[in-house]
């Protein structure tokens, strides 16, 4: 058994099975109230009401952050936090001392106090959570660690934030939701694509009725990652390629889906209802491995489950459809495939930003979407455009970090909550089930337990 297999097996042991709990619940007739309490799916303990719009007391001081996982993405977040006045990184955690030292040096060079380093193995984040006086634990680790770190943070009284995707399996999605509810803490998935200029402008236009009733959207993650998955420098231990070997699913849905979910008010008057998913053959990674490592390489001979192109079609409770494409194993330009169709018009982002609005656009032709920025730029983008210059992913990472810190400091609901993290991430596990059942329809669980019906629309946030 490889180290990767051992870690995954251990993670499975630590993860509570939602399905097993539901079977137990049916037998025990847990539907009957037990002293007014509802049993949690994982712990069998009292659970509070869903915190759809959870608010906390304003801190009145800087947000104290513990950061876990200082790799290629995590290092960018540390840089951002060093520039955000209201944030103070007081602890950094990574299994590599070189990375915590880099973070300490970077923060000191920025005129910030030197954070405490935690480097004693895979689970030293537990010691950090138990030891440090933190408001927020932020993680940018490999995917399998997102849930354990977020759960540990919330159990120790801290808010949690994680890079995408938040959770790889349905039981892990439930674990995040139920822990956030029990301890009344934020658990935000940091989906930076929600803060891109075009996506924000579309959202602003949706709210102003430019597209009429929304009917259909297309999105996805189309990115040639062959060199990343089969290269040794980007992902330590080449952990990401193992997901392509072991799972046939949309492994990375949230970059495209996050903005679409916000436009369609998912979890706030609307919800994902069901999906069907289909994949093609897996050819890209073995062909790439053969060129890079030769025909006898273990990477060339590996059996890859992930189809090179995975298409997933979602229908919402309000009757819209969303087509998501995952394409990361083939040569191609980058795209998130952003497209939105309503009764009054449509807009697309890739390959060029184009728009057509009935009564405004001439004939049946496209207009340049950039011509709409002056009038419909989102207020958040306007406020943050200069501050975010030079940060990762065109400034998106800085904006999302700034908003996270601002919301926690002011005690406001975060831009994306734990129900968003669960619903958007759940596409991976549900698409995997659909593909395994010859593209059968699979229902989405209701992580909000009905609260989506009465939760108001998200505000158009500003600064």
Tokens 């207020």 locate to 379
Structural domain of residue 170, as residue ranges? 63-189
- Cα(22)–Cα(41) distance, integer angstroms: 8
Is residue 222 assigned to a domain?
yes
pLDDT at 463: 62
Q: Are residues 340 and 435 in the same domain?
A: yes
Residue count (the chain):
463
Is the distance from CB of 190 to CB of 293 less than 8 angstroms?
A: no
* CA–CA separation, 253 and 425 (whole Å): 7
Residue 97's contacts (CB-CB under 8 Å, 6 or more residues apart) are 117, 119
Residues 129 and 208 in one domain: no
Mean pLDDT across the stretch 402-416? 95
Q: pLDDT tens, 18-76?
A: 443 333 333 333 332 222 222 233 433 344 566 677 788 899 999 999 999 999 999 99
Please tell me whether residues 301 and 435 are part of one structural domain: yes
pLDDT score of 12 more than 70 = no
Amino acid 232: pLDDT? 75
pLDDT tens per residue across span 165-195 = 999 999 999 999 999 999 999 999 999 999 9
In a domain, 113, yes or no: yes
Distance of CA 144 to CAs 95, 162, 415, Å? 15, 11, 24
The tens digit of pLDDT for each residue in 137-170 reads 999 999 999 999 999 999 999 999 999 999 999 9
The verdict on 143 and 283 lying in the same domain is: no
| Cβ 72 vs Cβ 43: under 8 Å | no
In this structure, the answer to whether residues 72 and 208 fall within a common structural domain is no
State whether 235 and 141 are in the same domain. Answer: no
Q: Of 158, 189, 220, which residue sits at a domain end?
A: 189
Domain-located, residue 237: yes
Does any domain span residue 286?
Answer: yes
Of 189, 224, 246, the residue at which a domain comes to its end is 189
Phi/psi of residue 356, each to 5°? -145, 120
Rounded Cα distance between 92 and 65, Å, is: 9
pLDDT for 241-296, tens place per residue? 999 999 999 999 999 999 999 999 999 999 999 999 999 999 999 999 999 999 99
Q: Which of 4-8, 124-128, 172-176 has the lowest mean pLDDT?
A: 4-8
CA distance 17 to 29: 18
Is the pLDDT confidence value at 323 over 90? yes
Q: In terms of domains, do 250 and 164 share one?
A: no
Q: Tokens 């030079």 — which residue? A: 390
Distance CA(44)–CA(52), nearest Å, equals 22
255 found inside a domain: yes
| H/E segment holding residue 273 | strand 272-279
> Quick one: 333 and 284 in the same domain?
yes
- Total number of domains constituting the chain: 2
pLDDT at 459 (0 to 100): 82
CATH classification of the domain holding 254: 3.30.360.10
* Stretch (H or E) spanning 278: strand 272-279
Give the residue from 189, 217, 242 where a domain finishes: 189
Does 55 reside within a domain? no
Query: Do 372 and 278 have their domain in common?
Result: yes
Is the domain of 343 the same as that of 420?
yes
Do residues 242 and 373 both lie within one domain? yes
326 in Cβ contact with 253 (< 8 Å)? yes
Here the CATH number for the domain that contains residue 121 is 3.40.50.720
Statement to judge: residues 131 and 277 lie in one domain = no
What's the CA gap between 254 and 242, in Å, rounded? 20
Residue 46 lies in a domain: no
Residue 209 lies in a domain: yes
Instruction: Yes or no: say if 332 and 224 are a contact pair by the CB < 8 Å rule.
Output: yes
């Amino acid at each position: 058994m490889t180290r990767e297999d051992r870690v995954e097996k251990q993670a499975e042991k630590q993860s509570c099975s939602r399905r097993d709990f539901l079977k137990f619940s049916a037998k025990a007739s847990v539907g009957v109230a037990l002293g007014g309490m509802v049993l949690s799916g994982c712990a069998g303990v009292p659970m509070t009401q869903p915190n759809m719009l959870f608010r906390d007391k304003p801190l009145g001081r800087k947000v104290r952050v513990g950061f876990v996982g200082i790799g290629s993405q995590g290092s960018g977040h540390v840089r951002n936090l060093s520039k955000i006045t209201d944030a103070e990184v007081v602890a950094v955690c990574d299994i590599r001392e070189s990375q915590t030292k880099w973070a300490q040096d970077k923060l000191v060079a920025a005129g910030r106090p030197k954070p405490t380093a935690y480097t004693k193995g895979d689970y030293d984040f537990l010691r950090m959570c138990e030891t440090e006086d933190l408001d927020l634990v932020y993680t940018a680790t490999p995917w399998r660690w997102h849930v354990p770190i977020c759960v540990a943070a919330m159990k120790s009284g801290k808010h949690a934030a994680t890079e995408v995707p938040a959770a790889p399996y349905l039981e892990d999605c439930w674990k995040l939701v139920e822990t956030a509810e029990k301890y009344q803490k934020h658990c935000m998935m940091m989906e930076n694509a929600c803060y891109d200029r075009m996506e924000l402008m579309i959202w602003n236009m949706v709210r102003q009725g430019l597209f009429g009733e929304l009917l259909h959207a297309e999105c996805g993650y189309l990115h040639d990652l062959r060199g990343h998955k089969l290269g040794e420098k980007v992902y330590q231990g080449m952990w990401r390629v193992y997901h392509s070997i072991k799972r046939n699913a949309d492994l990375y849905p949230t970059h495209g889906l996050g903005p679409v979910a916000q436009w369609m008010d998912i979890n706030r008057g609307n919800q994902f209802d069901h999906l069907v998913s289909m994949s093609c053959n897996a050819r890209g990674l073995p062909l790439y491995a053969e060129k890079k490592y030769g025909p006898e390489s273990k990477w060339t001979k590996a059996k890859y489950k992930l189809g090179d192109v995975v298409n997933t079609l979602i229908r919402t409770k309000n009757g819209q459809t969303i087509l998501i494409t995952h394409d990361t194993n083939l040569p191609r330009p980058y795209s998130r495939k952003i497209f939105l169709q309503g009764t009054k018009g449509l807009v697309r982002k890739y390959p060029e930003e184009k728009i057509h609005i009935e009564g405004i656009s001439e004939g049946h032709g496209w207009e340049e979407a950039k011509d709409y920025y002056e009038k419909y730029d989102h207020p958040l983008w306007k406020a943050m455009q200069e501050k975010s210059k030079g940060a990762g992913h065109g400034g998106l990472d800085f904006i999302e970090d700034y908003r996270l810190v601002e919301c926690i400091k002011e005690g406001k609901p975060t831009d994306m909550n734990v129900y968003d993290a669960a619903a958007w991430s759940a596409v991976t596990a549900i698409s995997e089930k659909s593909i395994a059942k010859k593209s059968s329809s699979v229902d989405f669980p209701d992580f909000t337990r009905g609260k989506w019906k009465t939760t108001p629309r998200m505000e158009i946030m500003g600064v």
